Structure 1
Amino acid sequence: MKSATEIKKQSIEAEDNDTSYNPLSISNLISDKYVSKILMSTYRKPKSVQLISATYGIPIAVCYRKVRQLEKLGFLRCVGDKLNGNAKRVKLYQSQIVNAHFFMEKGQFRARVQLASGIIDDFGGSWSLMDENNQ
Structure 2
Amino acid sequence: MSRSERTDANSQAVLSALGNKYSAEILCAAGTPKSAQTLSEDIEIPIATCYRRIEELVDAGLLTCEGRRLSEEGRRTNIYRRTLDEIEVDFSGERPRFSKTRRTEAKNQLHDQLQD
Query: CA–CA distance in 1 between the matches of 2:11 and 2:82?
Result: 20
**RMSD over equivalenced CA pairs, Å:** 2.4
Aligned residue in 2 for 1:50:
37
Match of 2:76 in 1: 89
Structure 1 match to 2:29: 41
Q: What per-residue deviation string (whole Å, max 9, x for no partner) do you get for residues 57-110 of structure 1?
A: 21111111111111112111111221111111111100002321112334x352
TM-score after normalising by structure 2: 0.68
CA contact 1:97–1:113 (8 Å) conserved in 2:
no
The answer to whether structure 1 residue 74 and structure 2 residue 61 are counterparts is yes
Maintained 8 Å contact 1:100/1:111: no
Q: Which residue of 1 aligns with 2:113?
A: none
Secondary structure of the equivalent of 2:79?
strand
1:21 and 1:60, CA in 2 relative to 1: closer, same or farther beyond 3 A?
same
Partners of 1:50 and 1:26 in 2: how far apart?
A: 23
The answer for unaligned runs of 5 or more in structure 2 is: 1-7, 105-116
- Greater Rg by CA: 1
Equivalent pair of 2:17/2:60 in contact (CA under 8 Å)? no
C-alpha distance in structure 1 between counterparts of 2:22 and 2:73, whole Å:
26
1:104-123 equivalent positions in 2, closer than 5 A = 104-106=91-93, 108-114=94-100, 115-116=102-103
Percent of pairs with identical residues: 25
Could you state the TM-score of these two structures normalised by the residue count of structure 1?
0.60
| Gapped regions of structure 1 (runs ≥ 5) | 1-18, 118-135
Looking at structure 1, the residues matched to 15 and 60 of structure 2 have their Cα atoms a distance apart, in angstroms, of 13
Q: Supply the distance in 2 between the matched residues of 1:74 and 1:28 (Cα, whole angstroms).
A: 12
**How many residues are aligned here?**
96
